[in-house]
């Protein structure tokens, strides 16, 4: 039997503790990485939904800079629609561009600018619920609410 000295068992304890702490730090850093990755994933899913799945109105692009939120809206329907209103909301606040109604032919894109009450914080992601009010030749007062919130990153 080999006798171990007090110094050897202390060294082994310190090495095991160092390995455990290293694994813990790597795990924590990965969690931080994935939480940032998660917000990017949610933003990408939101943009994909609004550009490809939303109908009859799609949101092709957004740009939030300063106090202005720019939105490009596309009529994906095969008929002309009368866009009578559009709003985005967050919490108890609702915001809307001016100038309605718009007669939007199939495939037409409209650029809207919404004045926000405060400048956005650079890099921050904002989440909005979107509502479109519209009519067709045969049906008045239709609404489109998104299946996913609109996620917009501030670029200023």
Which domain does 116 fall in, by range?
Answer: 41-153
- 55 falls within a domain: yes
Q: Looking at the chain, which runs of residues are DSSP E strands?
A: 57-65, 68-75, 81-90, 93-95, 102-104, 109-115, 125-135, 142-145, 150-153
The CATH number linked to 84 is 2.60.40.10
Q: Is residue 146 part of a domain?
A: yes
Q: Is residue 13 part of a domain?
A: no
Position 34 pLDDT exceeds 60: no
Residue 77 lies in a domain: yes
Q: How many domains does the chain have?
A: 1
Instruction: Give the residue-averaged pLDDT of 88-99.
Output: 94
Is 36 among the domain residues? no
Residues contacting 130, CB < 8 A, separation 6+: 50, 59, 86, 87, 88, 145, 146, 149, 150
Taking a C-beta distance cutoff of 8 angstroms, is the pair 135, 86 a contact? no
- The dihedral built from the CA positions of residue 89, 79, 63 and 67, taken in this order, carries a sign that is negative
Asked whether residue 28 is assigned to any structural domain, the reply reads: no
Pick 86 or 29 by higher pLDDT: 86
Q: Is 49 contained in some domain?
A: yes
Residue 34 belongs to a domain: no
Note the pTM of the prediction, 2 decimals.
Answer: 0.75
Q: Is the pLDDT of residue 4 over 60?
A: no
């Amino acid at each position: 039997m080999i006798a171990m000295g007090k110094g050897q068992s202390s060294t082994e304890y310190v090495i095991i503790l160092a390995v455990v702490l290293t694994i813990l730090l790597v795990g924590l850093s990965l969690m931080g990485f994935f939480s940032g990755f998660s917000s990017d994933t949610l933003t990408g899913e939101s943009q994909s939904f609004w550009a490809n799945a939303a109908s009859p109105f799609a949101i092709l692009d957004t740009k939030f800079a300063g106090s202005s939120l720019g939105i490009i809206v596309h009529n994906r329907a095969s008929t002309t629609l009368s866009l009578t209103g559009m709003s985005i909301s967050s919490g108890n606040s609702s915001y809307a561009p001016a100038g309605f109604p718009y007669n939007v032919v199939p495939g037409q894109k409209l650029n809207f600018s919404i004045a926000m009450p405060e400048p956005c914080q650079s890099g921050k992601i904002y989440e909005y619920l979107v509502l479109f009010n519209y009519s067709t030749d045969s049906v008045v007062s239709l609404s489109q609410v998104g299946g996913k919130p609109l996620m917009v990153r501030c670029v200023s």
